[in-house]
Amino acid sequence: MNVLMVLTSHDQMGDTGHKTGFWLEEFTAPYYVFRDAGASVTLASPAGGQPPVDPNSEAEGALTDTTRRFSEDADGKAALAATVRLADVRADDYDIVFYPGGHGPLWDLAEDANSIALIEDAAKQDKIVAAVCHAPAVFRHVKGGNGDAFVSGRKVTGFTNTEEDAVQLTNVVPFLVEDMLKQNGGHYSCGDDWAPYVVVDGKLITGQNPASSEDAAKAALDAARGA
């Protein structure tokens, strides 16, 4: 089983002067689901090298068992520091393409031509495509085989408008994930704010928030295995 995890390279929260990036738990929880299942995991980002971690996700209150495990994982940290350039990966080589969230993807991966092409190629090859929290932003400009929006007519979830409002970034982000998914024709649903919630629509898997990361990765593995 070959898994590609695609991380943001964007580290600025709009023009606020605050840093952003990927949310640590949304990377570490799926990373260990895949690793512990024996999968080969490749990490990629638009710029390559070390992707930026949202500093808020490293605060004590945001730490989890998997983030603590990662802090002691020399091999994992070395892999994260040396992500391959997104332009150099091909969907052909992977069974699962997984996007962790954080606010960064709203700015770079949502608009990245290589990411768009990767998802479209993966879908054409009937590969698993999964994204959690803010990462469903990456579907913003992706088209399905019929030329419609990739999420059109499909069941999806992602970070809710009320969750974005709770972190006081509604007027900072370039767009709201929930609104975009609905505008693109997705059949959006969600659970309670901050509670785990995962939606599976065939080979497309989406998770609502950080708490959904582990379950989204498990669902991706099940889909890849034909469970």
H/E stretch holding 205: strand 204-207
Q: CA 77, CA 56: separation in Å to the nearest integer? A: 18
Is 137 a residue whose pLDDT tops 80?
A: yes
**116 pLDDT higher than 70:** yes
pLDDT digits (tens, 9 = 90+) for 140-188: 999 998 999 999 999 999 999 999 999 999 999 999 999 999 999 999 9
- Residues 206, 201: Cα–Cα separation, whole Å: 9
Q: Is the model's pLDDT at 227 over the cut of 80?
A: no
pLDDT tens per residue across span 33-76: 999 999 999 999 999 999 999 999 999 999 999 999 999 999 99
Domains present along the chain, CATH in parentheses = 2-225 (3.40.50.880)
Strand stretches in 84-166, DSSP E: 84-85, 96-99, 128-132, 155-156
